[in-house]
Structure 1
Amino acid sequence: MRAVIFGASGLLGRSVLHTFAGTSVTGTGFSRSSNGLVRVDATSAGDIERLLDRDRPGVVVNCVGERRPVAWASTPDQARGRNVVTARLIAEGARRYGARLLHISSDYVFDGQAAPYRPNDRPKPLNVYGRWKLLAEQAVLAACPDAVILRLPMLYGPVQFAAETNLTDIARQVSLGAQMELDDVCVRYPTHADEAAEVCRRLAEALLHGQCTASVIHWSASQGFTKYRLALMIARRFGLSDEHIRAGKADATRGDRPLDCRLVCQGLPAAFDSVRRRPFRTEFPSVVEPWLPFPRPVAS
């Protein structure tokens, strides 16, 4: 299998690139284009076409995206470009060079009022990020009709900086001991990036062998937690005080955060039955421990 992973410097992209090891794979990055990644500006049709023309992949995986709320507010045009423009350009390139395309999307295309959500349920995003992800899905399927959209929830895994995921950012805040109030209404379904990456690998193989006919697929962990519950789990797991952590409704009262976007995973190829599920309670300690100021050994 010959593959190109766009956005291989991000959390999911790094895991996908690792999962594709052993194949002829190229990973791209832009601001973080080190460790063997090819520097590609995914908002440039020329950059995309030059790479695809050189590598002629059978599969393209698009992990490019801007999920940080601070970027939505401070640089909205740039953030929109990374979520919508890149999706369209990569899809156009994949179709032009005859590659099958797997595009990564988000559960934020739903408003969280009618969970659980099936792949064919009507999207209704609440915030600008969700709208961008929906626009990206539409652009992808218009430019490359045989593409597959993979919607994923909140991801966690080994990070390069604490703010790279909500989980490690919460862990850092918990460990500092300052008073904090976290939402205890909106439910997230943290899914390990390595698990999602294995799904990407299985989907790529299924696409190449004509074993996947769906245009939209969901994958998600089954356990849901609020930010407040995540913080309590972290504090208690590492013997930290939780007296400074208060339950609140900040995300819910904003009106632009879905209450519950639980995804229904159905209609998947049989090979997905053997994807290794990573229970959150057993996986999160090793992920957050490096970001605590006084690391403690993770108990077995």
Structure 2
Amino acid sequence: MATRDKHLFLTGASGLLGRAIYKKFITEGWVIYGTAYTRVAEGLHKLDLTDENEVKKAVIQFKPSFLIHCAAQRFPEKVDLDPEGAENININASRYLAQVVDCIQVPMLYISTDYVFDGKSPPYAVDAVPNPLNLYGKTKLNGEEVTLAFGKGNIVLRVPVLYGPVEYVAESAVTVLLNSLLQTDKPCKISNYELRRPSHVDDIADICLQMAMKRLEVFFLD
């Protein structure tokens, strides 16, 4: 692939996974338009993904060859507290992005979650039937659906609980457990029945890069 074709539009670039993807693609020679909203670090662009016009304007002006949508409300308890806000970012923003990449004919990778399943029979195959039990899982499944409803060659990648370099302890569902261990002055409740498969963000970022390269090879041959 020519260097000029390595243009990535990346949402959620300031997040736990987004930072790893940004770093990985940069080291591989990609030009990146990374977006953020509340944590706009150096090199990133502030963008309200719930503003349809602004989203489409930013994507069209940058002219990416690939788009990765990492941004989401990924904390189940926050989704329950603000279902409308979660719907806007997890579903509506995904629709806006899918529609614009369809217009400019480039593929999109949507980062989803294992919360689209009910947890009864993991690990899940690609063709396993989703059955989300909470609102977070339902909004992410809806985001998958709108992503695949538009465009040519869009991809959904379902990832489990993530860990990696954090900016604050509660940023990862793995490192957040440290708070409970440090607060020895009071009892706390911790689940003793969940079986999770944590994945390091660097490994997922590498997978995203491989998927992007492979998808572009196939996409422009179709």
TM-score by length of structure 1 reads 0.68
Question: Alpha-carbon deviations, 1:79-138, whole Å to 9, x = none?
Answer: 121111111111111111121111100011111112221011111111111111111111
Equivalent of residue 144 in structure 2, options 134, 137, 144: 137
Question: Alpha-carbon deviations, 1:244-285, whole Å to 9, x = none?
Answer: xxxxxxxxxxxxxxxxxxxxxxxxxxxxxxxxxxxxxxxxxx
Which is greater in Rg? 1
2:112 paired residue number: 105
2:37 paired residue number: 30
Question: Alpha-carbon deviations, 1:23-76, whole Å to 9, x = none?
Answer: 111110111122211111111121111111211111000001111133113221
1:58 paired residue number: 65
Deviation of the 1:20 alpha carbon: 0.7
Q: Work out whether 1:198 is the aligned partner of 2:198.
A: no
Count of equivalent residues:
211
Distance, in Å, in 2 between the alignment partners of 1:48 and 1:116 is 35
1:20 paired residue number: 25
Runs (4+) off by over 6 Å? none
Q: 1:56 corresponds to which letter in structure 2?
A: K
Contact 1:52 1:97 in 2 (8 A): no
1:9 paired residue number: 14
1:239 paired residue number: none
Q: Secondary structure at the match of 2:157?
A: strand
Deviation of the 1:8 alpha carbon: 0.5
Q: Work out whether 1:183 is the aligned partner of 2:191.
A: yes
Distance, in Å, in 1 between the alignment partners of 2:67 and 2:123 is 29
Q: 5+ unaligned residues in a row in structure 1: which ranges? A: 212-300
Q: 5+ unaligned residues in a row in structure 2: which ranges? A: 1-5
Q: Secondary structure at the match of 2:121?
A: coil
Question: Alpha-carbon deviations, 1:121-166, whole Å to 9, x = none?
Answer: 1111111111111111111111224201001000011111121111
Q: Secondary structure at the match of 1:95?
A: helix
User: What RMSD over aligned residues (CA atoms) do the two structures have, in Å?
Assistant: 1.3
Question: Sequence identity of aligned pairs in percent?
Answer: 32
Q: Secondary structure at the match of 2:204?
A: helix
Q: 2:24 corresponds to which letter in structure 1?
A: T
1:298 paired residue number: none
Distance, in Å, in 1 between the alignment partners of 2:155 and 2:55 is 19
Contact 1:64 1:86 in 2 (8 A): no
TM-score by length of structure 2 reads 0.91
